[in-house]
C-alpha cells in the first residue's frame, strides 16, 4: 500500500544530538523499506567495551562514507563533551544498508548514570548486540543491560570484542557471559544465544576464532539478518507508536522519537496523544492508568538514514521515527490515530534521582569576569529548558533567593549538565553532591546503594580493602581473575563512593579498574568520613605571591600559582592536616633598603594541583562551593567572610543542617513546570 516517499535533508544542529535543525532538501531518494527487510537493534555493554567503535567499523564496512572522506574516530560521539571525555553520554540512532536490508542501530551509553536511557531505547528494538570485552568479561553494567534485555524477552547476540588484544581470553569471557545469562534467568532460547568474536577497532568479526580468517564484518551483518527478527508489525492496522526519547527544537517544540508499532501515518494527519502513569512507586505490571489525552496533528516527520535525519511525508510500522506536533509529548506517551480504541501502552521506566546539589547564582567577587552571571529567574529558565529533554533530572525550588536544588542519577549526570552550562558561557556555583535518602514504611532511613567491582593487582588489596571498609563497603565476593590480579565485589553506599575514584587511582598507581552501578535503596550504613584534610583558605584578596606560596606549600597541596587573582574566602590548597588553615597567599615580601641578590622566587614552587570540575565536586566539603565559569574552576567557602563563616558553621552544627550559604532555607515547594516525564 505504501509507495516510495521522497525526503528533504535534515542535519544535526552543532553537536547537540537532541536539538533539531532543518535544512531544505536536495536529492530525493526512495526511503520506504518493506518490513521483512528492516532490522532494529541496540548495542549494549559496559562502559568502554567498544560500542561506538563497532559502529565506526559497521559504517566503514557498509560504505556509509565516501572512499576518500575524512572520518573522525567514534563518529557517533558527535557532541563536544562526548569527544572530550571519550564516552557516550546519550543514546543515538543511525541506520546502515546491507544486502538490501535496512538496519536501525542504536548506540547506547555504557556509564551507569545513563542506564535509564538504555532501558528506554530497548523498547524500540527486536534484539541487542551485547558486547563483552574479551579481557574484562561481563562487568556490572553488562549485567544490568542484559537483565533488562532478557526481561523484555529479547534474544541477544553476544559479541566478544577486543579479541585482538594480547591479554584477551575470549573463551573465559564467553563462559562468564553464559553464566550470567543463566544467573539472570534466561529462557532456553535466550541462553542459546549466537556468538561472534572479533575486533571493532580493526573491523573484523568471525563466528569461529580458531577456524575463520579475520576479514571484514560480513559475518556480523549476516548474523544480524539471520538472528534479529524483522519487526513483528502490521502496516495495515491503525497507526500507533510509543515515545521513548525526546528532542527539542526552538521553532517546533518537543519532538518525540519511538518505533511505529502498527499502521502508517502521513504528515498532517490527526493524532491522539495519550499519557499514562503508574499507580504507585512499586510500578507493578498492569497497575497503571491513562491520565490524559490531547488531540493534535503531526507537523513534521523524520526517519534516520545513515547519520542524517531525513524529513519524510509518511512513516510506517517497523521503522524508528521522529515526530513533532503534539505540544506536550513526554516519554511513554502513545500517539495513535483517533479511530484506535484504548491506544495507551504501559508507562516506560523513568529512573529516580539519587544525588542532588544546589545550583546557585555566582556571588563571588570575580562574578561576571569570564562569563554571564545568571539571575535566579534565568537559572530556573535554563533548567526548565533542560527538563524538557533530560528526563532523569529534577529541579526543586526550596524558596532560596540564590538557587535551586537539582537532582540527578549521579555525579556524572549532574556534572555533564554543569559542563554544558559552562560551555554556554554561564557562571554558577554548585554545592557538594549529596545522596537522596528515603524512609521505609517503618520510618527507617534508607540510602542509595551501589554494586562496586574493583580489579586490582594483588599488592594493592590491603589499602583498597581498608579504604572501602571506612567508606562502609561490604565485601560480597573476591576472586582471582588472572596472574596476580584480584577482583572484589562490594555493596557500598553511593555516599561512600563520592570522591573515591581519584583516591583509588592514586592508591593503585593507575593500575586499578573500578566500576559501580546503583542497585537500590538499603538501610543507612552510618557515618562516612568524607575528607580527612582541611582547606587552606585565603583571608585577604589580591594577587598570589610566589614568595608566600613557597611558604604555604610546606603546609599542604596548592591549587594556585603566583600572580593568580585571589579573593577572601577562596580555597587555595588542601591542608595536610584536618581542619581549615586560614592563610594569606597575597602577602608581599617586606622590602628593605639593602640590595639583595635577585634570587628567582618561584624556583622552589611545585606545580599546583589542577582542578577539574569532577575532581572539585568530589573534593569539596559541605560548607564549600565550586565556582564554575567558562574558563575557571575555583573552590571557595560558601560564606566568604571568615568571621561570618565561623558563626554560620557553629549555628548549623547546633541546628544539625548543612552550611551551603548564609541564607536560611524555608520549606520545599516545586518549580511551576513539572519535570518532563514525571507523573505525580
Mask 54-93, x = binds ligand GTP (CB under 6 A)?
Answer: --------------------x------------xx-----
Q: Which one of 38, 42, 101, 109 is in contact with ligand GTP (CB under 6 A)? A: 109
CA 46 to chain CA centroid, nearest Å: 13
Cβ nearer to ligand GTP, comparing 22 with 201: 201
Provide, rounded to whole angstroms, the least separation between the CB of residue 52 and Mg ion: 3
- In the complex with ligand GTP, the residue whose CB is nearer, 118 or 124, is 118
β-bridge partners, 518: 450
Binding mask 354-383 for Mg ion (x = CB under 5 A): ------------------------------
Ranges within 155-174 binding ligand GTP (CB under 6 A): 161-162, 164-165
Rounded CA-CA distance 65/12 in Å is 17
- Using an 8 Å Cβ cutoff, are 362 and 429 in contact? yes
Kindly list the distances between the CA atom of residue 318 and the CA atoms of 38, 64, 548, 669, in Å, as whole numbers in the listed order.
7, 22, 69, 43
Confirm if 219 and 205 have CB atoms less than 8 A apart. Answer: yes
- Of 140 and 318, nearer to ligand GTP (C-beta) is 140
**From the list ligand GTP, Mg ion, none, which binds 48 (C-beta under 5 to 8 Å, kind-based)?**
ligand GTP
- When the beta carbons of 50 and 343 are compared against ligand GTP, the nearer one is 50
In terms of Cβ atoms closer than 10 Å to its own Cβ (0-12, 13-18, 19+), residue 178 is: middle
Beta-strand ranges (E) seen in 14-100 are 20-22, 38-44, 92-98
Least distance in Å: CB of 43 to Mg ion?
8
Contact letters (x/-) for Mg ion, 84-103, by CB under 5 A?
----x---------------
Length of the chain in terms of residues written: 680
Nearer to ligand GTP (CB atom), residue 205 or residue 537:
205
C-alpha 132/C-alpha 677 separation (Å) is 32
Its sign, for the CA torsion 86, 89, 90, 91, is: positive
Instruction: Please name the residues in contact with 175: beta carbons below 8 A apart, sequence gap of 6 or more.
Output: none
Residue nearest to ligand GTP (CB): 110
Q: Is 135 in the site for ligand GTP (CB under 6 A)?
A: no
Q: By the 8 A CB rule, do 271 and 297 touch? A: yes
**Using rule CB under 5 A, residue 53 touches Mg ion:** no
Q: What is the smallest separation between the CB atom of 92 and Mg ion, expressed in angstroms?
A: 9
Q: Which does 162 bind (CB under 5 to 8 A by kind): Mg ion, ligand GTP, none?
A: ligand GTP
Among ligand GTP, Mg ion, none, what does residue 47 contact (CB within 5–8 Å per kind)? ligand GTP
User: Does residue 290 contact residue 343 with C-beta atoms inside 8 Å?
Assistant: no
Q: Which of residues 506-565 bind ligand GTP (CB under 6 A)?
A: none
The entry of ligand GTP, Mg ion, none that residue 573 binds, CB within 5 to 8 Å by partner kind: none
49 binds, among Mg ion, ligand GTP, none (CB under 5 to 8 A by kind): ligand GTP
Give the one entry of Mg ion, ligand GTP, none that residue 164 binds, where binding means its C-beta sits below a cut-off of 5 to 8 angstroms depending on kind.
ligand GTP
Q: Hey, which residues between 30 and 59 contact ligand GTP (CB under 6 A)?
A: 45, 47-53
Which stretches within 187-240 are classed as H helix?
Answer: 188-191, 218-227
**Member of 10, 79, 106, 110 binding ligand GTP (CB under 6 A):** 110
Look at residue 201 and give the partner it binds from Mg ion, ligand GTP, none, a contact being a CB closer than 5 to 8 Å depending on partner kind: ligand GTP
Provide the 8-state DSSP code for 234: B
DSSP conformation letters of 316-382: ETTSEEEEE-STT--TT-EEE-TTSSS---PPPP-PPP-EEEEEE---STTTTSSSEEPPHHHHHHH
Number of chain positions touching Mg ion (CB under 5 A): 3
Among 33, 40, 190, 199, binds ligand GTP (CB under 6 A): 199
Nearer to ligand GTP (CB atom), residue 113 or residue 627: 113
Q: Is the separation of the CB atoms in 261 and 233 below 8 Å?
A: yes
Q: Is 556 helix (H, G, I), strand (E, B) or coil?
A: strand
52 is a contact residue toward Mg ion (CB under 5 A): yes
Contacts 24+ apart (CB under 8 A), 608-616: 608/557, 608/558, 608/559, 608/560, 608/561, 608/573, 609/557, 609/558, 609/559, 609/573, 609/574, 611/559, 611/635, 613/415, 613/418, 613/419, 613/422, 614/411, 614/412, 614/415, 615/502
What values do phi and psi take at 142, rounded to 5?
Answer: -60, -45
Site for ligand GTP in 623-662 (CB under 6 A): none
Cβ proximity to ligand GTP: between 149 and 465 the closer is 149
State in angstroms the smallest separation of the CB of 108 from ligand GTP: 8
**Could you tell which of ligand GTP, Mg ion, none binds residue 45, using a CB distance below 5 to 8 A set by kind?**
ligand GTP
Nearest Cα to Cα of residue 144 among 516, 678, 522: 516
Site string for ligand GTP, 563-602 (x = CB under 6 A): ----------------------------------------
Among 604, 591, 517, residue whose Cα is nearest residue 553: 604
Q: Quick one: which segment of 10-18, 43-51, 295-303, 350-358 binds Mg ion (CB under 5 A)?
A: 43-51
Find the binder of ligand GTP among 201, 225, 505, 673 (CB under 6 A): 201
- Report in angstroms how near the CB of residue 351 gets to ligand GTP at its nearest: 17
Find the Cα–Cα–Cα–Cα dihedral 308, 312, 317, 322, rounded to 10°. 60
Name the binder of 50 from ligand GTP, Mg ion, none, CB < 5-8 A by kind.
Answer: ligand GTP
Q: Which is nearer to ligand GTP, 162 or 273 (CB)?
A: 162
Which residues make Cβ contacts (< 8 Å) with residue 592, sequence separation at least 6? none
Kindly state whether residue 51 participates in binding Mg ion, applying the rule CB under 5 A. yes
DSSP readout, 312-335? ESEEETTSEEEEE-STT--TT-EE
398: cell is 526550596
- Our finding on whether 141 is near Mg ion (CB under 5 A) is no
Residue number, 201 or 485, with CB nearest to ligand GTP: 201
- Rounded CA gap, 153 and 149, in Å? 7
Q: CB 107 → Mg ion: shortest distance, Å?
A: 6
Using CB atoms within 10 Å of the CB of residue 408, give its burial: 0 to 12 exposed, 13 to 18 middle, 19+ buried. buried
Who contacts 536 (Cβ-Cβ below 8 Å, separation ≥6)?
552, 555, 556, 558, 571, 572, 573, 574, 575, 580, 581, 583
Residues of the shown chain interacting with Mg ion in the complex, contacts defined by CB under 5 A: 51-52, 88
Residues of the shown chain interacting with ligand GTP in the complex, contacts defined by CB under 6 A: 45, 47-53, 74, 87-88, 109-110, 161-162, 164-165, 199-201
Amino acid at each position: 500500500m505504501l509507495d516510495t516517499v521522497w525526503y528533504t535533508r535534515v542535519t544535526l544542529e552543532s553537536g547537540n544530538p537532541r536539538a533539531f535543525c532543518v535544512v531544505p532538501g536536495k536529492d530525493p531518494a526512495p526511503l520506504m523499506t518493506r518490513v521483512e527487510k528492516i532490522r532494529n537493534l541496540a548495542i549494549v555493554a559496559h562502559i568502554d567495551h567498544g560500542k561506538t567503535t563497532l559502529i565506526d567499523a559497521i559504517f566503514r564496512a557498509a560504505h556509509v562514507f565516501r572512499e576518500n572522506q575524512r572520518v573522525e574516530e567514534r563518529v557517533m560521539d558527535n557532541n563536544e563533551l562526548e569527544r572530550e571525555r571519550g564516552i557516550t553520554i546519550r543514546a543515538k540512532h543511525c541506520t546502515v544498508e546491507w544486502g538490501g536490508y535496512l538496519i536501525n542501530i542504536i548506540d547506547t551509553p555504557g556509564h551507569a548514570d545513563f542506564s535509564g536511557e538504555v532501558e528506554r531505547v530497548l523498547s524500540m528494538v527486536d534484539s541487542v548486540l551485547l558486547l563483552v570485552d574479551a579481557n574484562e568479561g561481563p562487568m556490572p553494567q553488562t549485567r544490568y543491560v542484559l537483565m533488562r534485555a532478557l526481561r523484555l524477552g529479547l534474544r541477544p547476540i553476544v559479541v566478544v570484542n577486543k579479541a585482538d588484544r594480547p591479554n584477551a581470553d575470549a573463551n573465559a569471557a564467553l563462559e562468564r557471559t553464559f553464566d550470567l545469562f543463566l544467573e539472570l534467568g534466561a529462557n532456553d532460547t535466550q541462553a542459546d544465544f549466537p556468538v561472534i568474536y572479533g575486533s571493532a577497532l580493526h573491523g573484523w568479526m568471525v563466528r569461529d576464532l580458531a577456524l575463520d580468517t579475520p576479514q571484514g564484518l560480513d559475518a556480523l551483518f549476516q548474523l544480524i539478518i539471520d538472528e534479529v527478527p524483522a519487526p513483528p508489525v502490521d502496516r495495515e492496522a491503525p497507526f500507533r507508536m510509543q515515545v521513548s526519547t525526546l528532542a527539542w527544537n526552538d521553532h517546533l517544540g518537543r519532538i518525540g522519537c519511538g518505533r511505529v508499532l502498527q499502521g502508517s501515518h502521513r504528515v498532517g494527519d490527526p493524532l491522539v496523544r495519550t499519557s499514562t502513569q503508574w499507580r504507585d512507586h512499586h510500578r507493578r505490571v498492569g497497575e497503571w492508568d491513562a491520565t490524559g489525552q490531547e488531540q493534535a496533528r503531526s507537523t513534521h516527520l523524520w526517519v534516520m538514514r545513515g547519520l542524517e535525519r531525513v524529513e519524510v511525508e509518511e512513516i510506517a510500522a517497523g521503522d524508528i521515527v521522529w515526530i513533532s506536533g503534539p505540544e506536550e509529548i513526554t516519554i511513554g506517551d502513545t500517539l495513535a490515530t483517533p479511530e484506535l480504541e484504548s491506544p495507551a501502552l504501559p508507562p516506560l521506566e523513568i529512573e529516580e534521582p539519587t544525588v542532588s546539589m544546589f545550583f546557585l547564582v555566582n556571588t563571588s567577587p570575580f562574578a561576571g569576569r569570564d562569563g554571564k552571571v545568571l539571575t535566579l529567574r534565568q537559572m530556573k529558565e535554563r533548567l526548565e529548558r533542560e527538563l524538557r529533554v533530560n528526563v532523569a533530572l529534577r529541579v526543586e525550588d526550596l524558596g532560596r533567593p540564590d538557587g535551586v536544588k537539582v537532582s540527578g542519577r549521579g555525579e556524572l549526570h549532574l556534572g555533564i549538565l554543569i559542563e554544558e552550562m559552562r560551555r554556554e558561557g554561564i557562571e554558577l556555583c554548585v554545592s557538594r553532591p549529596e545522596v537522596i535518602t528515603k524512609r521505609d514504611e517503618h520510618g527507617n532511613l534508607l540510602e542509595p546503594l551501589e554494586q562496586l567491582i574493583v580489579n586490582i593487582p594483588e599488592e594493592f588489596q590491603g589499602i583498597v580493602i581498608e579504604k572501602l571498609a571506612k567508606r562502609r563497603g561490604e565485601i560480597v565476593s573476591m576472586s582471582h581473575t588472572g596472574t596476580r590480579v584480584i577482583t572484589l565485589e562490594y555493596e557500598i553506599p553511593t555516599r561512600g563512593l563520592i570522591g573515591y575514584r581519584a583516591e583509588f587511582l592514586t592508591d593503585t598507581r593507575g593500575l586499578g579498574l573500578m566500576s559501580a552501578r546503583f542497585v537500590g535503596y538499603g538501610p543507612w550504613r552510618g557515618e562516612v568520613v568524607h575528607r580527612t584534610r582541611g582547606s587552606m583558605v585565603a583571608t585577604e584578596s589580591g594577587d598570589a605571591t610566589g614568595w608566600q606560596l613557597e611558604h604555604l606549600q610546606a603546609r599542604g597541596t596548592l591549587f594556585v600559582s603566583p600572580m593568580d587573582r585571589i579573593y577572601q574566602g577562596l580555597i587555595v590548597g588542601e591542608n595536610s592536616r584536618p581542619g581549615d588553615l586560614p592563610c594569606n597567599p597575597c602577602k608581599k615580601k617586606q622590602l628593605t633598603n639593602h640590595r639583595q641578590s635577585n634570587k628567582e622566587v618561584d624556583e622552589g614552587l611545585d606545580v599546583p594541583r589542577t582542578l577539574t570540575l569532577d575532581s572539585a565536586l568530589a573534593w569539596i566539603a559541605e560548607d564549600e562551593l565550586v565556582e564554575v565559569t567558562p574558563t575557571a574552576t575555583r573552590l571557595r567557602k560558601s560564606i566568604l567572610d571568615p568571621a561570618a563563616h565561623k558563626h554560620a558553621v557553629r549555628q548549623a552544627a547546633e541546628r544539625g543542617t548543612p552550611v551551603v550559604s548564609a541564607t536560611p532555607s524555608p520549606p520545599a515547594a516545586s518549580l511551576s513546570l513539572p519535570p518532563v516525564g514525571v507523573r505525580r
